[in-house]
């Protein structure tokens, strides 16, 4: 597989400007404001959900003890906040090579008939599981 390209904000601005007919200055300003808003919301501890794309959220990590692999010295790692991103459906299907799963309509799913039950009365107990074949003398 070839080495993936690194796409910069400048390249995205150029593409969007070409596709929309807007000037690069306007597109760059809008894109930067969008990114700044994401950062501001996460800094306040808010969760950002972009349907089909994904969810950004801030999670807290507890303080812990770690070990320096070179010196084997114990080191205290302080608690901190980290940004997590959960991939949305559209991104997962297009980027992660997962086949598209059929969407289930909740209205239709509720109307599916229930499986038929056997005769009422005596029910035979399930047979005991058979042990796996083994060549062991024990």
- pTM for this prediction: 0.62
The enclosing domain of 76 has a CATH number of 4.10.520.10
Q: Say whether both 12 and 25 belong to one domain.
A: yes
In a domain, 53, yes or no: yes
Residue 86's domain comprises 47-60+67-98
pLDDT at 97: 74
pLDDT at 21: 96
pLDDT at 138: 46
DSSP string spanning the chain? Answer: -PPPPPPPHHHHHHHHHHHH---HHHHHHHHHHHHHHHHHHHHTT--EEETTTEEEEEEEE--EEEE-TTT--EEEE--EEEEEEEE-HHHHHHHS-PPPPPPPPHHHHHTSPPPPP--SS--PPPPPPPPPP-----
pLDDT in tens, the chain (138 residues): 688 899 999 999 999 999 999 999 999 999 999 999 999 999 999 999 999 999 999 999 999 999 999 999 999 999 999 999 999 999 999 998 766 566 666 666 655 555 555 555 566 666 666 655 555 554
107 in the Ramachandran plot: left (φ > 0), alpha (ψ -120 to 50) or beta?
Answer: alpha
Q: Say whether both 22 and 2 belong to one domain.
A: yes
Q: Say whether both 52 and 39 belong to one domain.
A: no
């Amino acid at each position: 597989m070839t080495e993936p390209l690194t796409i910069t904000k400048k390249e995205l601005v150029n593409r969007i400007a070409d596709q929309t007919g807007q000037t690069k200055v306007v597109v760059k300003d809008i894109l930067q404001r969008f990114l700044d808003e994401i950062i501001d919301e996460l800094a306040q501890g808010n969760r950002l959900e972009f349907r089909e794309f994904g969810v950004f959220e801030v999670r807290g990590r507890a303080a812990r003890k770690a070990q320096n692999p070179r010196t084997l010295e114990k080191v205290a790692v302080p608690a901190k906040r980290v940004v997590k991103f959960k991939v949305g459906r559209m991104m997962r299907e297009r980027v992660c090579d997962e086949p598209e799963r059929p969407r289930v309509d909740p209205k239709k799913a509720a109307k599916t008939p229930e499986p038929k039950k056997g005769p009422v009365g005596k029910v035979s107990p399930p047979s005991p599981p058979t042990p796996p074949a083994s060549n062991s003398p024990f």
